[in-house]
Amino acid sequence: MASLQNSPTLHQTLFHNSFPQKHGASRSSRRESISFIVKAAQVPSQSNSTGSLSQDRPGRRQVIAIGSTTPLVFLFNQHSYSFAAENKKGYLPVLDKKDGYQFLYPFGWQEVVIEGQDKVFKDVIEPLESVSVNMIPTGKQDIREFGSPQQVGETLIKKVLAPPTQKTKIIEATEQDIDGKAYYRFEFIAQAPNYTRHALSTVSIGNGKFYTLTTGANERRWGKMKDRLQTVIDSFKIFNV
C-alpha cells in the first residue's frame, strides 16, 4: 500500500479538483484552476440560493433534458462491443475507444470540461449529481497490487476524491471480478460546512492506466438517486486497446 500512499503523481494528478463543489461554496484558489465549458444550452443559474437547490423541479428538469444538446459520445460498431446491448432506458452511453473504457450516465446530465478530468457529466440543476472519469499511467498490472479495497479506498477518499477541508467517511469497500478483471468499489460521504455529498467510486487497472470513475449526489437526494448512481457504477468497464 505504500506505493499508493507515497505516489505524488497519484495525489497531484488523479482527480485534480475532481470532487464536485456545490455552487455558491467557498471560492478558493483550487476552484480558480478549474475550467468549465458547458456543452449545452445555457439555463439561468439557480446556484446562489441553497433553498432553490433543495427543491426538486421535475417539470423544469424535463424541459432542460428535452431541449438540451446531446453530449458528444463515442459510438462504434455494436458487434465489436457488448456495451450497446446493455444500454438502459433513461441512460446514455459513453464508449471511449481510444482510452478503453465505457459507462452509462443518466439522461439529462450535461457534459462539462474540467481541467485534469477525462470526462465529466453533471446535472445542471443539482450540481452535486455528477460522474467523472480520470486516468493516470501506472506500472501495476492489477488493482490488488496497491492493497485491499479498504486500504485503497481510504487513501483515495482522504487524499484525492474529496477536498482536504471536508470530513470523509468510507461506508463500504468491496472487490468485484468483471470478465476476469478486478475492480474495487467504494461508497463514502464527504461533509462540507453547508452540504454533504454521498458518493460511489470504482477503480481498476488496464492498458497501463489507473482508472477511476466517481459519481454521487447531495445526501438529501441520496434515497432518490442511489439506484441510478449504482447503475452508473455497475456499467463502468475497461477493455483492451
Q: What is the pLDDT of residues 180-205, one digit of tens each?
A: 999 999 999 999 999 999 999 999 99
At 139, which amino acid appears? G
Highest mean pLDDT among 1-15, 48-62, 75-89, 227-241: 227-241
Q: How many CA atoms lie within 13 A of 64 on its CB side?
A: 20
- CA 39 to the chain's CA centroid: 17
- Amino acid 88: pLDDT: 84
Q: What is the CATH number of domain 2-238?
A: 3.40.1000.10
- Amino acid 4: pLDDT: 54
pLDDT at 127 over 70: yes
Report how far apart, in Å, the C-alpha atoms of 238 and of each of 58, 161, 209, 234 are.
34, 20, 10, 12
C-alpha cell at 116: 485534469
pLDDT at 165 over 60: yes
pLDDT at 124 over 50: yes
**CA torsion 234→15→129→71, rounded to 10°?**
-80
Out of 32-46, 68-82, 189-203, 215-229, pick the least confident.
Answer: 32-46
Residue labelled with grid coordinates 466517481: 214
Average pLDDT of the residues in 72-77: 39
